[in-house]
Chains A and B, each alone.
Chain A
């Protein structure tokens, strides 16, 4: 009984020990904050990476892809059919995106993906990252009337409405340009008395040409490029009523985030749903030629993973197959470059991958068969390593705090020498005296890490407010949305992590009190009583 009473009294009267426990408190709080932010961050990343990548991806590296995807799917179903929840085939091709922006050509390397909109959503998250609410439900590659995310700050007016207005304006400009050219020719003829070519300066002085500048692109297009589609012939194509094949662009391929003078992040869009863009990509023949094709942007894709948003552009699978010549004109069999599989809940990704690898051995087939983890392995491993190292470092800090407790406890034991002698004179056993100090250490550990726990949890709950306060004070962006794409810091409080952080801190505090407690227990009662 006296042990408890005394150790509670010591806790109440020895503030120096409480000071020594503050480092434990801080260590625990920091550990909790770091772990929950890291967990939140990696969960978010996992979620997104997994959602984007589908469970297993079979890629064919041949430029013509793998013929007859249905036969492949049948074969796959034969091998691991019981594990498969969904599948989709697609064509991936590297390509160059050209956007006309105020008369300048903006080019971007993109990974052009031909998808089957119906099945693609089964194997990976796709629709949910589109801007138009109807496209989130079911994807079409037809331009919608309006209703894109216009509430978003800086997002321009888009859709058919915009396209019509834009086309009308374009036509008016064209007419105006023609008229001015006519007038200037007329003026020149009148001045010199003979016919003259129209002056380019006169055209430029009208300000930047709005709309798609075909000729600008023409200069960079090498010889031998096939022009496909009704593209550049205004006779057959009216932008006011017609659209090119639809394309969904990754949002970062056609916009950039920047900071204005006040430090607010703003998006600037080079093109929007309703604009036309040009894509160049190789066809599937053995002697590849560049296909040059116009598309109409029908939606934008924003997953939050900058790697995806800045490299992907999606079109319809059948159209892309057609453009690239991946449909056998005689038999009608198609080819694809990629098969994506979604597995049932709880399936062993690696086992399925290995089974498939066995069926399609890499020495025979130019296929790479990977799980989403394999593909994102380095990134996931980096986050894991970072978390581990931070945990080790922070636990070292708590261990340092442990040495502080050790020193403080030795001091307290020396200070309490006479009391230890008194207790022994009153019949307290060595182990009894020892347990006073052990339970004192335990109690301090519980108090210190308990306060740290509460503080850490409070911090995590208000982390975004705290971040904004820090931003205000220091003027430094803590969590830069231009880098991370999360507007908020994601956090996850894992009870298991909390428990082991607490247990670790308490164990360190108790361990630190073992040596002083042993010293107290071993103290000779007479020496202790004589101690001045």
Chain B
């Protein structure tokens, strides 16, 4: 198998199991999946089916037992720690079900966090103005410019998730990994978050991989993958539904 140029992110034969008291607990049993550049893909499955585990592997937060992760035509899971840190920091954005904002920082500081992590003190101070402008633009984008000096504790769940999205956009990534971004929100708020993601996907051509266990949400995605017992179910109907899909070659293989 060789990487196809249209695939921004690709998982090849990913296996992952946890060991508990010498009992092997296989979570992922050979996942092959590719996410097409510019598409918004959904990953659905029951709770415990290993969706989050897969996402952590795709974000190189964890190492697979076997298999490879390719991003933008290069293998990344076997890269050095520093290279993987840079990948997470600058090339992808991640959002979580529980927002994971830093409670000590205000909204705008949270948005600035990836930029601060990348830079030294001096570097940050030098770029301070432009970074602040960009952070404000990102907050504006998610409609929270007026709340930029609020602490996370002073914001609602939907607002926190929008700050988290602004943060993930800070380094202008090509890919956004979202782990149940609406899982903790009511339907209406969830819908605004989804439409925001949709908009980002459309306007900025941001590739989005979204995990959810809500089928109605999954249906709004360009493509939908279903996970079951550590394997990906073949789901051609979702692929067909995808109007913008130009990757006929895309295969979802059940190992």
Interface SS of chain A: helix
The winner among A418, A426, A526 for most chain B CB atoms within 10 A is A426
Q: Within the assembled complex, what's the spacing in Å between the Cα atoms of A423 and B100?
A: 9
Majority secondary structure of chain B interface residues (helix, strand, loop or mixed): helix
Q: Which residues 328-348 of A sit at the B interface, judged by CB distance below 8 A?
A: none
Q: Are A2 and B59 in contact (CB under 8 A)?
A: no
Closest residue on chain B to residue A418 by CB atoms: B100
Does A525 count as interface, using CB distance less than 8 angstroms? yes
Cβ of B155 under 8 Å from chain A: no
When the two chains form the complex, which single residue of A419, A426, A430, A524 contacts B89, counting CB atoms closer than 8 Å?
Answer: A426
A9 & B100 in contact (Cβ 8 Å cutoff):
no
Q: Bound complex: CA of A525 vs CA of B100, how far in Å?
A: 13
In the complex, the answer to whether A5 meets B89 with C-beta atoms within 8 Å is no
Query: Which of the residues A4, A427, A432, A526 comes within 8 Å of B121, measured between beta carbons?
Result: A4
In the complex, A526→B94 CA distance in Å?
13
Task: Name B105's contact: one of A5, A418, A529 (CB within 8 Å).
Answer: A5
- Are B116 and A5 in touch, CB under 8 angstroms? yes
Q: Is the CB of B100 within 8 A of A2?
A: no
Q: Is A13 an interface residue (CB 8 A)?
A: yes
Q: Does B124 contact A (CB under 8 A)?
A: yes
Contact flags (1/0) for B115-158 with A, using CB distance below 8 Å? 01111110111000000000000000000000000000000000
For the side of the interface on B, what is the size category? 20 to 34
Known: A5-B105, A429-B82, A529-B96. A423 touches B56 (CB 8 A): no
Contact with B along A386-415 (1 / 0, CB 8 A): 000000000000000000000000000000
Interface membership of B103, Cβ < 8 A: yes
- Known A428-B85, A525-B62; judge A422-B102 contact (CB<8 A): yes
Residue from B87, B100, B105, B123 with most neighbouring chain A CB atoms (10 Å): B100
Question: Is B25 close to A, CB under 8 A?
Answer: no
User: With an 8 A cutoff between CB atoms, is B61 at the interface?
Assistant: yes
Q: Are B117 and A13 in contact (CB under 8 A)?
A: no
List the B residue with the shortest CB-CB distance to A14. B104
Residues of A within 8 A of B105 (CB): 5-6, 9
Verify if B202 is at the interface (C-beta below 8 Å from A): no
Interface size in chain A (residues, C-beta < 8 A)? 25
Task: Answer whether residue A421 sits at the interface, using C-beta atoms and an 8 A cutoff.
Answer: yes
* A92 CB within 8 Å of chain B: no
Identify the B interface with A (CB < 8 A). Answer: 56, 59, 61-62, 81-82, 85-90, 94, 96, 100-105, 109, 113-114, 116-121, 123-125, 167
A2-B117, A423-B102, A424-B61 given. 8 additional CB < 8 A pairs? A1-B119, A4-B121, A6-B105, A419-B100, A421-B100, A425-B61, A426-B114, A427-B86
A-B contact pairs, 30 of them (CB 8 A): A1-B116, A1-B117, A1-B119, A1-B120, A1-B121, A2-B116, A5-B105, A6-B102, A6-B104, A6-B105, A418-B100, A419-B100, A422-B100, A422-B102, A425-B61, A425-B96, A426-B88, A426-B114, A427-B87, A427-B89, A427-B117, A428-B85, A428-B117, A429-B81, A430-B81, A524-B62, A525-B56, A525-B61, A526-B56, A526-B62
